[in-house]
Amino acid sequence: MFRPKPTSRLILLTLTLLLLVNFLTSIKASEPTTDENEDGELEELLALDEQGEQEEEQEGSSASVRSSEAEVLTKAQRIVIELNHDNTKRVIEGHEFVLVLGYAPWCSRSAELMPQFAEAATSLKELGSPLLLAKLDAERHPKTASSLEIKGFPTLLLFVNGTSQVYTGGFSAEEIVIWARKKTGEPVIRISSVTEAEEFLKKHHIFVVGLFEKFENEASALIVYLFGQYLCSWAYMFVLKLLRGPDYEEFVKAAAADNAIQFVGVSNIEVANVLFPNVKPTNLFLGIVKSERERYTSYEGTFEMDKILLFLDYNKLPLVNKLTETNSARVYSSPIKLQVLVFAEADDFKKLLEPLQDVARQFKSKILFIYIDNTGENLAKPYLTLFGLEESNSTVVTAFDISNNSKYLLESDPTPSNIKEFCSGLLRGTLSSHFKSQPIPDNTNETVHSIVGKTFDDKVLNSYKNVILEVFTPWCINCETTSKHVEKLAKHFKGLDNLVFARIDASANEHPKLQVNDYPTLLFYTANDKANPIKLSAKSSLKDLATTINKHLKVKDNVAKEKDNVPKDEL
């Protein structure tokens, strides 16, 4: 049977596709480009934009006083359509892609996001993106916000042909642009010249570059370009599979699946070396580039979507991550289960950053390093509270093993060498878990002894006496009543040398063998069986508690006497 040569097959495919593209182009040209009723807001917006530019030119000296940055922001804000009760439905249903920002004027996070959103709108317009950006004052138009299911602020929603999707990208202008382009059909940017590559480097802080040299020729490049311009995504993927092969197809699938990082495809080794220096001459290459000391990381695995995404998960974050409210979700989603957290004031951390990066490099992809400003109430305090260090102003180094919910504390000075040793122990699993504890109290002349994490072993588990322990927290509503009962019971049984009443604040003290979730809790640790404490009812009356304690003391005493009186030959 006659089989056409690959070259003949490619030429035939090229001619067929060119005819198809020509047909599609003619259809597209015959369609009206703008509907006056549906796109009224957009035309009005562009007119306002031009009018604004003319007004700025007429302002003369008054315009010159503004900074160039402010002018850019003002122009960008005009590009974002302001939604209201009357135009929201028409704008969303009249455009294929609309990204809506729901905000409230009083919301500080909305105020932080606004300029980033406006800057992203400018960039997307310059790139010729079909995405329309719009914003809605949800406080002024609550019914409209409710109809869009905007419940918190700020909220970003992408509408595709009128159907909403939750926004899952970052909150910088660059991250919004990357996410938007991926969701509107452009998962990979193709760069073909050194000049393009140099311009790209100026605008992006993190990206993935893939070199696919052997799949490129002039005919295939033309076809890919034409398909990217005119055809739907499934056809585009089909052509990529035919012309570029399965490796490039997996690369594009990974690019579409990742929401945060821009993917770049190149076919020329010189262009690749601009983006990722010292790429070895090869037909296939993939690497991630970041704007930090650990700038370049190459991928060594096979070209499969899942493996590429896993590589990115382990390598996309900086060596040391400064935790903020805007990036917390991205940091917390890391698959790295061992985490070292450094709490310090900003000035102190500046001195520690460079040596800490050197330490982090030695544990790359194994330990995630996070910096948190210890003056931050929302971010630092919840963590420091877990260690009983919420009032600390000095530098604190902690660690977590997410896989078994263990936490650790560096108790020596936070020098680079001590941090390195601490990390090595964390990786080997030789660190002792940290349990928070208040300072050891003086219980002299106290009727009810205070127990802390550090004294729980000696005063409760290893004590030869019976111990009744009250477990409480300062915020517990019913604990005060129980505490009064314990005080009275301690006075009532004061004459018994073998019985001790004690209490422990569970909010400030921990012990691996004290696992209590309800407060208040009363536990009776008998002298002969400390491993199995008896839980007393904290809701019982004072009289009932005294009766129960007497009963358990007598039972245990009788058991002890019986054991002492058993003849030796019967043991």
Encode pLDDT of 163-175 as tens digits: 999 998 888 899 9
- Whether the predicted pLDDT of 50 surpasses 60: no
Question: Rounded distance, CA 533 to CA 469, Å?
Answer: 10
Give 552's pLDDT tier (boundaries 50, 70, 90).
confident
- Give the pLDDT of residue 305: 96
Burial of 517 (0-12, 13-18, 19+ CB in 10 A): exposed
- Whether the predicted pLDDT of 56 surpasses 80: no
- Whether the predicted pLDDT of 367 surpasses 90: yes
Percentage of the chain surpassing pLDDT 90? Answer: 61
User: What tokens appear for 481 in the block?
Assistant: 């009543």
Strand order in the sheet with 206-212: 188-190, 262-266, 206-212, 284-290, 296-298
Of these residues, 272, 479, 489, 538, which one is catalytic? 479
E strands, 144-261, are 155-160, 163-166, 188-190, 206-212
Higher pLDDT, 58 or 424: 424
Q: Could you say which architecture CATH assigns to the domain 69-183?
A: 3-Layer(aba) Sandwich (3.40)
Asked if residue 349 lies in contact with residue 435, where contact means CB atoms within 8 angstroms, the answer is no
Of these residues, 46, 107, 305, 534, which one is catalytic? 107
232 in active site? no
Give 514's pLDDT tier (boundaries 50, 70, 90).
very high
Lowest mean pLDDT among 29-38, 221-230, 417-426, 500-509: 29-38
Give 562's pLDDT tier (boundaries 50, 70, 90).
very low
- Give the pLDDT of residue 14: 54
- CATH code: domain 320-428 is 3.40.30.10
Q: What is the pLDDT of residues 278-336, one digit of tens each?
A: 998 877 899 999 988 889 999 999 999 999 999 999 999 999 999 988 788 889 889 99
Asked if residue 552 lies in contact with residue 526, where contact means CB atoms within 8 angstroms, the answer is yes
* Mean pLDDT across 139-162: 94
Q: What is the pLDDT of residues 409-446, one digit of tens each?
A: 999 999 999 999 999 999 999 999 999 999 999 999 89
Lowest mean pLDDT among 230-239, 261-270, 290-299, 327-336: 230-239
Lowest mean pLDDT among 34-43, 141-150, 403-412: 34-43
Higher pLDDT, 99 or 60: 99
- Whether the predicted pLDDT of 559 surpasses 60: no
- Whether the predicted pLDDT of 544 surpasses 50: yes
Q: Could you say which architecture CATH assigns to the domain 449-562?
A: 3-Layer(aba) Sandwich (3.40)
Question: Rounded distance, CA 285 to CA 296, Å?
Answer: 13
Of these residues, 476, 508, 516, 527, which one is catalytic? 476
479 in active site? yes
**Buried/exposed code over 306-329 (b: 16+ C-beta within 10 A; e: otherwise):** eebbebbebbbbbbbbebeeebee
User: What tokens appear for 274 in the block?
Assistant: 């601009």
Q: What is the pLDDT of residues 467-498, one digit of tens each?
A: 999 999 999 998 999 999 999 999 999 989 89
* Mean pLDDT across 200-211: 92
Strand 521-526, strand 188-190: pairing: unpaired
Nearest to 212 by CA among 180, 187, 188: 188
- Give the pLDDT of residue 54: 46
Domain with CATH 3.40.30.10 in the chain: 69-183, 188-314, 320-428, 449-562
Out of 3.40.50.720, 3.20.20.80, 3.40.30.10, 3.20.20.140, the CATH code matching 188-314 is 3.40.30.10
